[in-house]
Structure 1
Amino acid sequence: MKTTYKNAIDSEITLTELMLPSHSNFSGKIHGGFILSLMDKAAFSSASKFSGQYCVTASVNRVDFLNPIEVGELVTLKARINYVGNSSMVVGIRVESQNIQTGEIKHCNSSYFTMIAKNDTGKKVKVPGLIIRDLNGLRRYLRSIEHIKMRNERKEAFSKKNFIPDNYEELLQGFNVKLELS
């Protein structure tokens, strides 16, 4: 089977939504869970557009909420494929809010969602390869490779089978922890 390739631009999605009072938390700011839901929708849309398949979320790599989002602001999510594996894709998402009265735009968060392409029976399916056309695209692709490598190393080191507590004794110095292991 011949591999097909697509450009990252073929995966670009932009979602914009007005933030309503029903989206807010008890402090009057937009609830982080609501933003995560929008991010998941953007990741699904981007990955499905790129792969031509139904996609599911496999993991989310860190979400830092940098700036609060206010009721009445427009939130824009920009998503695109940064990396592809066999059936997996890493979608980079940037979230910005805009005050519609002043025009001020704030970067609210960025994150990376790993999505898996599935067929009608729920089996993983091969996705197109990624054509990289600029240094930013190359940087994003390589960042994903490094993240996957570090995640796998961490998973291995902290597995029940391989974990050696003595290897971390010095690391715990200076942390707010007291060990009373039995």
Structure 2
Amino acid sequence: MLVDRAGKAVQPRVPPDACGHYVGVVAAMRPMPWRTVEEVKLRRIESPEAVASGCSQYGKDMFDWEIHLGTVMQRGSRRPDFQPDPVSGRACVYARSKGADGGVLVTGGRLTDLPGVVAALRDARPAEPCSLPRTRWAQLVLMPMHQTAYLELDGCRRLEVWTPSGKVNFFDPPRSVGQAVEAVRP
């Protein structure tokens, strides 16, 4: 709730993006003066590791999600490209959780060798059809523009990338990408 100097209060409604995220809200509110009137702790939602890494505590298995939606999964027709060139990136590693629609955060953090990871991703070849189950995957978020890709860390070990037209492409990335992702820490 926002309260002005005269004591008038307003409950703002912030529009989410297409994925339900409130991008830019915290940054826009940071310069506003505020004070805590009351604080009630109910339960922990995010683990300290999730907070430190910038990752969500729970992650959707986008490979299963695409199957559920009936998305036509196609071999990458050309190599993945990220534009503009990423200047920072993080990886969030998740493991399948029984009874959950997705997985629970295992680790996450900044990609320390971002130029090497991006070069390796751009070097990925089209993936062959594969139906091996996965138990662990990573969400890669490259900045600017929240360029996102998903990497299977077991099973088929594919890379899932969307094209600007909304098509889902699968690639077979070099093993070095998985190794760099496995090395991330908050």
Fold equivalence (TM over 0.5) = no
TM-score using structure 1 length: 0.19
State the structure with bigger RCO (CA 8 A, min sep 6), 1 or 2: 1
TM-score using structure 2 length: 0.19
Structure in which a larger fraction of residues adopt helix: 1
